[in-house]
Amino acid sequence: MEIGIRCLKGDFMKINKKVEEALNEQINKELFSSYLYLSIAANFRGKNLHGFAHWMEVQSNEELEHAMKIYHYIYERGGEVTLEKLDKPKTKWDTCEEALNEAYEHEKFVTKSIEDLVKLSREENDYATENMLQWFIKEQVEEEASTEELLIKLRMVGEKGNGLYMLDKELSNRKE
Ligand code: FEO
């Protein structure tokens, strides 16, 4: 009997269509997050805030990694990735606080989306996906916290002067 890769995956582990579709939508959200944070980074570069820009570029790369994590997972489960078009992100923010606040609100939106995915995988008795999503649940706690912390620090130092200069310098040390 010929045993192909598809066969070895076993139909019982094959991802169901509803979950596959929702994970594909999540890939789009993660890619959009990457695009939005790159746009915020570009805005910071334009303001000569290179530390802030670097911090956001690292964040943008992380979002791309999130998308790829789901991308590979779908194939591990015998599903298929379908990429859709990305929305155009906003490109101008008058203040740093506005830009960081947008990032923070966006993280909260992504958290809600991950929680909805967990609910769906439970409803569909897809325990493997629910288990995979636990990594994202933990990641979202960290991402919301780090973005909020940065927003709070910025509010403490304000939008100009020595405080902003020092904060920008601190942010340039963020590791990938
Ligand atoms: Fe991947 Fe920050 O959400």
Whether 54 maps to a domain, the answer reads yes
Q: Is 143 in the pocket of ligand 1 (CB under 6 A)?
A: yes
Q: The tokens of 149 are what?
A: 């912390």
Q: Is 107 in the pocket of ligand 1 (CB under 6 A)?
A: yes
106-154 per-position pLDDT tens digit: 999 999 999 999 999 999 999 999 999 999 999 999 999 999 999 999 9
Whether 176 maps to a domain, the answer reads no
pLDDT at 26: 98
Q: The tokens of 147 are what?
A: 């973005």
| CA distances (Å), origin 88, targets 10, 33, 34, 36 | 40, 11, 12, 8
Among the listed ranges 11-25, 36-50, 120-134, which one has the minimum average pLDDT value?
A: 11-25
Q: What is the tally of structural domains in the chain?
A: 1
User: What share of the chain has pLDDT > 90, as a percent?
Assistant: 90
Whether 18 maps to a domain, the answer reads yes
Answer whether residue 3 shows pLDDT above 60. Answer: no
Q: Is 36 in the pocket of ligand 1 (CB under 6 A)?
A: no
Whether 131 maps to a domain, the answer reads yes
Whether 142 maps to a domain, the answer reads yes
Q: Which domain holds residue 35?
A: 2-171
| CATH number for the domain that contains residue 29 | 1.20.1260.10
pLDDT at 4: 46
Q: Is 129 in the pocket of ligand 1 (CB under 6 A)?
A: no
pLDDT at 144: 98
CA of 99 to the centre of ligand 1 (A): 16
| DSSP assignment of 75-134 | HHTT------PPPPPP---SSHHHHHHHHHHHHHHHHHHHHHHHHHHHHTT-HHHHHHHH
Whether 166 maps to a domain, the answer reads yes
Whether 137 maps to a domain, the answer reads yes
51-110 per-position pLDDT tens digit: 999 999 999 999 999 999 999 999 999 999 999 999 999 999 999 999 999 999 999 999
Q: Is 26 in the pocket of ligand 1 (CB under 6 A)?
A: no
pLDDT at 176: 87
